[in-house]
A and B are shown apart, each in its own frame.
Chain A
Amino acid sequence: MSEEHSVSRRTSLKSLGAMGAGIVFAGAAAIPRQAEPKPARSDQGKQAVNVVDLAVDRFGKGHS
């Protein structure tokens, strides 16, 4: 193998390595994070959107 050929081959291997790393990185980024379970709300489903009533209702249930 000539010196010129060898350098060219090393360069293309480096490029492939960089591309591979890029693909792996992009793939990892594309994996959706699993949604964490959210705590149940005692007032879930209630129609009331009166903030004052809601605040008073939640008091004493671990809410500040």
Chain B
Amino acid sequence: MFSAVAEQMGMDYQTAVQVSSGFAGGMYLGSVCGAVTGGIMAIGLKYGGVDPKAQLEAFKRNEYPPPATVVREFADRFRAQHRSINCPDLLGVDVSKPEIYKKLSADVSKPEALKVAKDALGGRDAKEVLAACRGFVKDAATIVSELLNDAPR
């Protein structure tokens, strides 16, 4: 998700992939969805500043600096669609737990293994869980794409 957006904004592919390689499963911590985190980074890439004084001045005027405003808009729109930005809430299961994460690659040729995996994944098979993730990536990318195209830097 991040690499797709960042590359269009001039970041090289390798850096974009490397810097976002710890995002899966809510940063492997059962925290914020990696697609949302990637979106926030993409917003920072476009609207972020390097001048802390300007940020402080914005806060003094009771304003949020540009990246904060856009990040909030992004999170609000994502929440409006999915009620949460947190991976375990979105999936109904915490895939950051190693024992659960392993079930995402259960051997499809072994029915018993698939049944155990399905039980661990809240009654869904790995394909269904990953399809849900793909949907979150699509929705996050759509919102970010709209927000980044909305206003010039």
Give me the interface of A with B, judged by CB distance under 8 Å: 38-39, 41, 49, 51-52, 54-60, 62-64
Confirm or deny: B124 has a beta carbon within 8 angstroms of a beta carbon on chain A. Answer: no
Q: List 27 A-B contacts (CB under 8 A).
A: A39-B14, A41-B13, A49-B8, A51-B4, A51-B5, A51-B8, A51-B141, A51-B145, A52-B4, A52-B142, A55-B1, A55-B138, A56-B137, A56-B138, A58-B3, A59-B1, A59-B137, A60-B134, A63-B20, A64-B1, A64-B2, A64-B3, A64-B21, A64-B23, A64-B24, A64-B37, A64-B38
B21 adjacent to A62 (CB under 8 Å): yes
A29 to B4, CA, bound (A): 34
Q: B19-63, CB under 8 A of A: which get 1 and which 0?
A: 011111000000000110110000000000000000000000000
B70 at interface, CB cutoff 8 A: no
Majority-rule SS of A interface residues = mixed
CB of B130 within 8 Å of the partner chain? yes
Q: What total of A-B pairs shows CB separation below 8 Å?
A: 63
Name B7-22 residues within 8 Å CB distance of A: 7-8, 12-14, 17, 20-22
Instruction: Indicate if the CB atoms of B37 and A60 lie closer than 8 Å.
Output: no
Q: Which residues of A contact B17 (CB under 8 A)?
A: 39, 62-63
> What is the chain A residue whose CB lies nearest that of B22?
A64
| Residue of chain B at shortest CB distance from A39 | B14
Among the listed B4, B8, B142, which residue makes an inter-chain contact with A58, where contact means beta carbons less than 8 Å apart? B4
With A58-B4, A59-B133 in contact, do A52 and B141 touch (Cβ < 8 Å)?
yes
Contact with A along B113-150 (1 / 0, CB 8 A): 00000000000000000100110011011101100000
Q: How distant is the Cα of A60 from the Cα of B126 in the complex, in angstroms?
A: 12
Query: Which chain A residues lie closer than 8 Å to B38 at the CB level?
Result: 64
B1 proximity list for chain A (CB < 8 A): 55, 58-59, 63-64
If the complex has contacts A41-B13, A49-B8, are A63 and B134 also in contact, measured as CB distance less than 8 A?
Answer: no
A34 to B12, CA, bound (A): 17
Chain B residues contacting A59 (CB-CB under 8 Å) are: 1, 133-134, 137
Minimum-distance CB pairs A-B, first 7: A64-B23, A55-B141, A54-B4, A55-B4, A64-B20, A64-B34, A55-B1
